[in-house]
Each structure stands twice: as structure tokens, then as C-alpha cells.
Amino acid sequence: MIFLLLYVAILMPYNVCFHQVVPDAGMSNQDYFDFAVDLLFGVDIIVNFISAYEDDATGIPVINPKVISNNYVSSWFLFDLIAIIPFSLLE
């Protein structure tokens, strides 16, 4: 995941600025790779919905799925959801 985050943080802005789109050329290999990266981040969202976390107050792992999902939705879910939008398909 760290390598994917580095790819998104470094190469994606470069590609957005300097990648020239050829009309009617279809998807390139880089487009397929970008789609795969978005898909892996989507899988990460699913994993975050079912992964236990440690309660800050008690130090005990929280394993209740409803509490886990509420905690995730109220913290990082919106940012993760925005991050997986395939902006290359919006052009």
C-alpha cells in the first residue's frame, strides 16, 4: 500500500499535468494500471470496514462490526472514497 500511495502522490500529479490524451486511442497500459490501483484502494476500504481497531480510552481492541464501521465512516472514509474516483474516466 505504501508503494501505491507513493505512486499516487508522485506520479499521478505528473501524469495529470503532462500526459497528453490521444482522442479515440482507447485505454493505455498506464490507464489500466491506474484503474488497478483504484481497485486496490477500493479493496482497502472494504478491509477498513471489517478491521478491528484499538480503543483510545481503554486500549482494548474493538471487534463489534457496527462500531468499527461507524468509527471508519466518521474518520477516514470520505477521504478514501474520494481517493478511489477514477479521474481518468471523467475526461
Give kind and range of the element (H or E) at residue 61. strand 61-62
How much helix, strand and coil, in percent to the nearest 5, is found in the chain? Answer: 65, 5, 30
The residue length of the chain stands at 91
What lies within 8 Å, CB to CB, of 15 at 6+ separation is 30, 34
pLDDT tens digits, one per residue of 1-17:
899 989 888 988 888 78
pTM: 0.79
Q: Is residue 41 a contact partner of residue 79, using CB atoms and an 8 Å limit?
A: no
pLDDT tens digits, one per residue of 24-62:
777 788 888 888 998 999 999 999 999 999 999 999 999
